Amino acid sequence: MTPSEIDILSIIPQKPPFVMVDTLIYCDENIARTNFIVRKENILVEDGALCEAGLVENMAQTAAARSGYLSRIEKKILHIGYIGDVKNLEIASLPKINSLLETEIRIKNQIFDITVISGRVMCDKKLVAECEMKIFISNKI
């Protein structure tokens, strides 16, 4: 089964109304890419655009989708991750309602239960946000 054929809700711990990814379009050991359409009913839309926290959460959920997909393939238990640190956050613009976001995360380092990623969010082929994030993985489901 390819990443895009999997129901996103089956591989991420987040549930509506707090889902910030629609489709996992690519995944391997080090990279994951998702798509997300900004909808007006989204809980993190303010004044017609996805707010800064929504962009950070979109990158974090892309990392969660990667972890969930790999766990599913390997028939392992799905774990929950928590954002521990965000560094070098740069936001160029806030995507408007109905925008299609293309998000990519890359694993920079993974030691024990800590994963460091770099994330980039693109909209209309323009970089709208990027950061480095430290994610702590819980052994509890």
Count CA atoms within 13 Å of residue 113 on its CB side: 11
Judge contact between 103 and 36, C-beta under 8 A. yes
Q: Which amino acid is at 70?
A: L
| Three-state secondary-structure class, residue 96 | strand
CA distances from 56 to 98, 105, 138 (A): 18, 11, 19
Quick one: pLDDT at residue 77?
85
pLDDT tens sequence for the chain (141 residues)? 788 889 999 999 999 999 999 999 999 999 999 999 999 999 999 999 999 999 999 999 999 999 999 999 999 888 888 999 999 999 999 999 999 999 999 999 999 999 999 999 999 999 999 999 999 988 655
Which of these, 86, 76, 68, lies nearest to 133 by C-alpha position?
86
Instruction: In whole angstroms, give the CA distance from residue 8 to residue 31.
Output: 17
